[in-house]
Amino acid sequence: MKEFEIRFSGSGGQGLILVTRILATALVEKGMKIAQSQSYEPTSRGGLSRSDLVASMETVDYPLASSLDYLLILDEVAVEVSGEVIGEGCLVLADSDRVSSKPEGKYSLYTLPLVSTADKLGSRRVANLVALGALAGLGSFCDQDALEMATRFHAPKGFLDLNLDALRAGYELSIEAPRIA
Binding residues for other proteins, rule: CB under 8 A, are 21, 24-25, 28-29, 32-42, 59-64, 66, 149-150, 152-154
Least Å distance, CB 156 to other proteins, is: 15
Question: Do β-strands 48-56 and 86-95 pair in parallel, antiparallel, or remain unpaired?
Answer: unpaired
The DSSP-derived string for 129-161 is HHHHHHHHHHH-SS-HHHHHHHHHHHS-GGGHH
Of the two residues 39 and 144, which places its CB atom closer to other proteins in the complex? 39
Q: How far is the CB of 21 from other proteins (least distance, A)?
A: 7
How many whole angstroms separate alpha carbon 21 and alpha carbon 151?
A: 9
Judge whether 181 and 108 are in contact, CB under 8 Å.
yes
The C-alpha atoms of residue 75 and residue 55 are separated, in whole angstroms, by: 24
Smallest distance from other proteins to CB 150, Å: 7
Residue closer to other proteins (CB basis): 59 or 140: 59
Q: Which is nearer to other proteins, 69 or 95 (CB)?
A: 69
Nearest to 70 by CA among 85, 57, 48: 85
* Smallest separation, CB 144 to other proteins (Å): 16
Cβ proximity to other proteins: between 34 and 71 the closer is: 34
